[in-house]
Amino acid sequence: MKKETKYWVVANMDENDQQAIEEAATLLKQHEVVAFPTETVYGLGADATNQEAVARIFTAKGRPSDNPLIVHVAHPEQIERYVTEITPLAEKLINAFMPGPITVILPSNGKIAENVTAGLDTIGVRIPDHIVARTLLEKLDLPVAAPSANTSGKPSPTSAIHVYQDLNGKIAGIVDGGPTGVGVESTVVDCTGDLPVILRPGGITQEQIEQVTGIMSVDTTISEQIDQPKAPGMKYNHYEPDAPLWLIDGDETFFQNQIDALTKEGKKVGIMVSQELAMKLDASNVKILGSQDDLKTIAYSLYETLRAFKKTDVDIILSETFIKQGLGQAIMNRLEKAASQKVSP
């Protein structure tokens, strides 16, 4: 059954905006589901201590409930309420990067709903670096479970209009705080062992984390689907656009050959590349992500561009691949999850 979805535009954090955020907080206290902006992507929030409220997230997204959700709080002190300990590793990351696009995995003390943790004895928790999200969490004074606010499997939303397109009539409200900044989700770091382990690359890079913690590890399964993940994005296909996405792992001549071959077959081809590669290709439907020298722009543009290709306009999307260093690790993780295949010479 369709429900009314309230929509608030929050632009200046003035008295009217504060009232809108208060209304959104009231709905969350009533165990409703509300979408709100973070610095990474828009999140679909519910009271993380209430199983019934969290179940509404899965229903709205059409998402299986055997994948853990990230818990959002306003302050480091609130993390202590829901974990058995803040490990020394986690404390270093919290001090260095929170608020910001990083999530730490810690032992749960059982106060978070079981369908948030997917039955695990750990939780992922973060403090978002967005004034609207922080204000909402402060007014609420509750932990908020919030996956990306999109239909499950589709590209994550980096604007409120993306949320509206996917979830209008399915959730109680959308807080429009403008476009997000980072464009890819938070880095998820398991802090329960002796070494920090990246379970999902994101807005904070491996190199940045190593500067704070020293040697670390990256989970070798981050590009695979695993049965009992400790973090979101590790089990099911994600970020898929309307049309099949192929990753073209070759030089400009190889890329052009793929375009020509598909066009000859009568396919309508969409191209998603850097501005450097775009200048070397002969193609019509080209969307530029940004410069190869500015991975922040490419990350910021990624989901918006994936959503821009509609199956009515293209039969297939060809994407450039990027170096798996720095933010490129997160970009390639999302592209590999979204792609149906990778093509190389």
DSSP-derived letter for residue 325 is S
**Who's near 263: CB < 8 A, 6+ residues apart?**
269
Q: Is 56 annotated as a binding residue?
A: no
Query: How far is Cα 46 from Cα 52, in angstroms, rounded to an integer?
Result: 9
- Residue 284, C-beta contacts closer than 8 angstroms, at least 6 positions apart: none
- Going 118 to 103 to 127 to 81, the CA torsion angle's sign is positive
Say if residue 95 carries a ligand binding annotation.
no
Q: Cα–Cα distance between 134 and 119 in angstroms, integer?
A: 27
Helices (H), the chain: 15-29, 51-61, 76-79, 88-97, 114-117, 131-140, 160-167, 206-213, 252-264, 275-278, 295-308, 328-338
Q: Is 258 exposed, middle or buried (0-12, 13-18, 19+ CB in 10 A)?
A: middle
**145 annotated as ligand-binding:** no
Confirm whether residue 67 is marked as ligand binding: yes
The DSSP H or E segment spanning 7 is strand 6-9
26 labeled binding residue: no
| 148 is known to lie in a ligand binding site | yes
Distance CA 112, CA 127 (A): 16
The answer to whether 135 is annotated as binding is: no
Residues annotated in the binding site for L-threonine, as ranges?
A: 40, 72, 122, 126, 146, 186
Residue positions in the annotated binding site? 40, 63, 67, 72, 122, 126, 146, 148, 156, 186, 200, 239
Binding-site residues for ATP: 63, 67, 148, 156, 200, 239
